[in-house]
């Protein structure tokens, strides 16, 4: 097909969109909705994954000890841990140190912890263990938890697993929602194009007997679907960037330096938005073309 | 150029529209297909244009069995056939020039070719001064001439006219016939289905009579020959 022909048919496609303005708007709205949900899910998943990775990289095992141990028993446990393979570093944190640390974390709200000093201190003492190889962390944690006097062992993996479980839910719910919305968009787009097909029935008939190829006749309708998808993609990308920006500014205002700290574990803003927009663009175009393909199969028997 | 061999068309409803048609049409011929409504004239044209496929028998156009054409090859068959209908089938939102140019755009002619060829064809059909008019501003005869111009603008070797004078008064009909004859003289094969007894009798061309899906008469320089 020649470029000039393409230009001609492109114009026809746009004319078709304008002719059914209301339906075109409905189509664009529905495509935008699908892509926005898709974009939000993607951004959420990307970020949770990024946080999970961050947590996983700061691998250390916390070994909480039961309260009733005397200092020699505590030391014995420390020695036993040191004897395990691949241990990089081990530090002891007493109940008092744990409380101090907690107070610092709470900052201005540390009066909540008043009266918990000494006898009343609910926090356990613990060993903080770092391993050489993050991959062995599960094994090592398992061995330590079997030691006598150890109340509980936690390590990054727990948090990571919990986070990954939550992305699983986002994926499932997101996929279902996206699937339903995509079907609705395809339906609306195909009906929009059906209207153009009906309006151009006579023209299509003439094209057929003058010897237009199927591709030539279909092109304007494919373009129509494509443009609907593209506009939806651009709108939803714009909204997503705006929403994400808004989220950042709100978090920054309310949580200040804490958020800046946390945000280093989030996915990088520009990179994420760029990738997500590309995905939205591709999916938008895909939905548009499927929508027009459906209408062409159903209504345009050339 | 066109050879029909034992062509039968049976519709799913059981109607046999054409029954064992054998006919040969040579290059440059002018052929009338006459016969009462329902005799199979329209079906024959639909088969030639490959809008429908014969139930049995073969149709050869330019040495090609058109039943074997793949879907994407059909447009190229149709480019060999110019068609004119009783109801003109013009696009009312396009000017005369655009209506004719449309046929050239479809076969992807260049802008230069279009600008050169369209006025030439319009003046051939006597509408050189109406290029900017819209179909609604034209008389029936003029509209049919536009559709004739559109049919021949791509220089097809065969022109098929399905009742081209059916909606026109006798004087206008004669003008269209003169044009068809002119086009035929330039070497185009013309196939015309019609009811117009006077025209057929006057033109003295080959007349093929169809009745109930069969050819009952095929006469060189014939007349209409049927009682209405």
**Cβ–Cβ of B108/A2 closer than 8 Å?**
yes
CA–CA gap between residue B209 and residue B36 (Å, rounded): 9
Q: ipTM value of the model?
A: 0.83
**How many CB pairs below 8 A link A and B?**
47
The pLDDT, as a whole number, for residue A300 is 64
Q: Which residues sit opposite A84 in a β-bridge?
A: none
pLDDT in tens, chain A (302 residues): 677 778 888 888 888 888 888 888 888 988 898 899 888 888 888 887 777 777 766 667 888 888 888 888 888 888 888 888 888 888 888 888 888 877 776 666 667 777 777 777 888 888 888 877 766 777 888 888 888 888 888 876 666 677 777 778 877 888 888 888 888 888 888 888 888 888 888 888 888 888 888 888 888 888 988 999 999 999 999 999 999 888 888 877 777 666 666 666 777 788 888 999 999 999 999 999 998 888 887 666 65
pLDDT value at residue A109? 66
Residues A200, A204, A207: CA angle, nearest 5 degrees:
140
Asked if A216 and B106 come within 8 Å (Cβ–Cβ), the reply is yes
Q: Where does residue B111 rank: exposed (0-12), middle (13-18), buried (19+ CB within 10 A)?
A: exposed
- CA proximity to B188, closest of B156, B221, B165, B164: B156
Is any Cβ of chain A less than 8 angstroms from the Cβ of B102? yes
Is the minimum CB–CB distance between B71 and chain A shorter than 8 Å? yes
Nearest by CB to residue A211, choosing from B78, B91, B110, is B78
Cβ neighbour number for residue B146 with a 10 Å cutoff: 25
Domain ranges in chain A?
3-56+160-299, 67-148
CB contact under 8 A, B111 and A1: no
Is residue B226 over pLDDT 70?
no
Nearest to B27 by CA among B148, B152, B158: B158
Nearest-5° angle of CA B136, CA B137, CA B141?
Answer: 85
What does residue A107 show for φ and ψ, rounded to 5 degrees?
60, -120
Taking only the tens place, the pLDDT of each residue in B24-49 is 999 999 999 998 888 899 999 999 99
Residue A18: CB atoms within 10 A of its CB come to 10
B78 closest CB neighbour out of A2, A4, A210: A210
DSSP 8-state assignment for residue A60: -
Residue B88 and residue B137 in contact, taking contact as beta carbons nearer than 8 Å: no
Domain A67-148 has CATH 3.30.1330.10: no
Please report the pLDDT score of residue B205 as a whole number: 93
Answer whether B89 sits within 8 Å of A202, measured CB to CB: yes
Strands A87-93 and A126-131: antiparallel
| 8 Å CB contact between B186 and B157 | no
The pLDDT of residue B53: 93
Q: Which of A189, A182, A185 is nearest to A221 (CA)?
A: A189
**pLDDT given at position B141:** 92
Question: Residue A64's CB: how many other CB atoms inside 10 A?
Answer: 17
Bridge partners of B37? none
Q: How far is A27 from chain B (nearest CA, A)?
A: 27
Q: In 10 A of CB B136, how many CB atoms?
A: 9
- Among A1, A3, A8, A209, the residue to mutate for chain B (most B Cβ within 10 A): A209
Q: How far apart are CA A56 and CA A34, in angstroms?
A: 33
Q: What percent of chain B has pLDDT over 90?
A: 81
Residue B197 has pLDDT above 80, yes or no: yes
pLDDT for res B69: 92
Region B164-176 average pLDDT: 91
Contacts for A116-125: CB closer than 8 Å, 24+ residues apart: A121/A95, A121/A96, A123/A95, A123/A98, A123/A99, A124/A64, A124/A65, A124/A66, A124/A67, A124/A95, A124/A98, A124/A151, A125/A64, A125/A65, A125/A67, A125/A74, A125/A92, A125/A93, A125/A94, A125/A95, A125/A98
pLDDT of residue B176 exceeding 90: yes
Question: What pLDDT shows up at residue B144?
Answer: 94
Tens-place pLDDT, residues B84-117: 999 999 998 899 999 999 999 988 889 999 999 9
pLDDT at B54: 94
Partner A contacted by B70 (CB < 8 A)? no
Residue B63 pLDDT > 80: yes
B119 pLDDT exceeds 90?
yes
Alpha-helix runs per DSSP H in chain A: 3-19, 21-57, 71-83, 95-106, 137-145, 156-199, 201-210, 214-263, 269-299
Location of structure tokens 């076969």: B107
Of the pLDDT bands very low, low, confident and very high (cuts 50, 70, 90), residue B132 is: very high
Task: Count, in order, helices (H) and strands (E) of chain B.
Answer: 7, 10
Alpha helices for chain B (secondary structure H): 41-48, 74-78, 96-106, 111-124, 140-152, 170-185, 197-203
pLDDT, averaged across chain B: 92
Q: Check the CA dihedral B149-B202-B191-B136 and report its sign.
A: positive
Residue B216 predicted with pLDDT over 60: yes
Identify the pLDDT of residue A85: 82
In angstroms, the separation between the Cα of residue B73 and the nearest Cα of chain A is 8
What's the CA gap between B180 and B185, in Å, rounded?
A: 9
- Kindly report, residue by residue over A160-210, the tens digit of the pLDDT: 677 777 778 877 888 888 888 888 888 888 888 888 888 888 888 888 888
Bridge partners (DSSP) of residue B7 are B21
């Amino acid at each position: 097909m020649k470029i000039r022909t393409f230009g001609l048919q492109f114009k026809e496609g746009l004319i078709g969109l304008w002719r059914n303005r209301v339906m075109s708007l409905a189509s664009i709205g529905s495509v935008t909705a699908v892509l926005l949900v898709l974009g939000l899910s993607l951004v959420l998943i990307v970020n949770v994954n990024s946080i999970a990775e961050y947590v996983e990289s700061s691998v250390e095992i916390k070994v909480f000890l039961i309260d009733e141990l005397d200092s020699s028993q505590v030391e014995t446990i420390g020695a036993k841990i040191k004897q395990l393979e691949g241990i990089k570093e081990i530090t002891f944190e007493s109940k008092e140190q744990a409380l101090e640390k907690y107070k610092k974390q709470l900052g201005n709200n540390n009066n909540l912890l008043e009266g918990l000093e000494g006898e009343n201190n609910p926090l356990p003492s613990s060993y903080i263990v770092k391993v050489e190889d993050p991959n062995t962390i599960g094994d090592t944690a398992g061995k330590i938890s079997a030691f006598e006097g150890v109340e509980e062992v936690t390590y990054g993996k727990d948090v990571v697993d919990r986070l990954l479980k939550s992305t699983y839910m986002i994926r499932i719910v997101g996929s279902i929602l996206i699937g339903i919305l995509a079907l609705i968009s395809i339906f609306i787009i195909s009906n929009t194009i059906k209207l153009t097909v009906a309006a151009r029935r006579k023209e299509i008939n003439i094209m057929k007997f003058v010897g237009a190829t199927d591709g030539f006749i279909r092109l304007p309708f494919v373009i129509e679907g494509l443009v609907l998808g593209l506009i939806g993609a651009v709108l939803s990308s714009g909204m997503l960037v705006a929403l994400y920006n808004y989220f950042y500014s709100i978090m920054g205002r309310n949580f200040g330096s804490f958020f800046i700290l946390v945000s280093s574990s989030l996915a990088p803003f520009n990179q994420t938005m760029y990738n997500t927009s590309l995905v939205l663009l591709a999916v938008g175009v895909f939905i548009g073309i499927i929508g027009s393909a459906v209408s062409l199969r159903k209504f345009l028997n050339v | 150029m066109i050879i029909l061999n034992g062509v039968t068309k049976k519709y799913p409803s059981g109607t046999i529209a054409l029954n064992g048609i054998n006919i040969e049409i040579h290059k440059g011929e002018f052929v009338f297909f006459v016969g009462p409504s329902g005799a199979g004239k329209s079906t024959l044209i639909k088969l030639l244009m490959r809008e429908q496929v014969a139930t049995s028998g073969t149709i050869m156009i330019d040495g090609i069995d058109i039943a074997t054409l793949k879907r994407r090859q059909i447009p190229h068959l149709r480019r060999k056939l110019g068609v004119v209908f009783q109801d003109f089938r013009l696009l009312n939102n396009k000017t005369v020039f655009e209506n004719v140019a449309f046929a050239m755009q479809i076969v992807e002619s260049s802008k230069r070719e279009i600008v050169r060829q369209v006025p030439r064809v319009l003046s051939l059909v006597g509408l050189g001064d109406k290029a900017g008019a819209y179909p609604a501003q034209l008389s029936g005869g003029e509209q049919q001439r536009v559709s004739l111009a559109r049919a021949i603008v791509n220089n097809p070797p065969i022109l098929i006219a399905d009742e081209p004078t059916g909606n026109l008064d006798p004087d206008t009909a004669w003008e269209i016939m003169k044009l068809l004859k002119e086009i035929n003289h330039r070497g185009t094969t013309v196939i015309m289905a019609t009811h117009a007894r006077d025209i057929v009798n006057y033109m003295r061309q080959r007349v093929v009579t169809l009745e109930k899906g069969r050819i009952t008469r095929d006469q060189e320089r014939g007349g209409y020959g049927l009682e209405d």
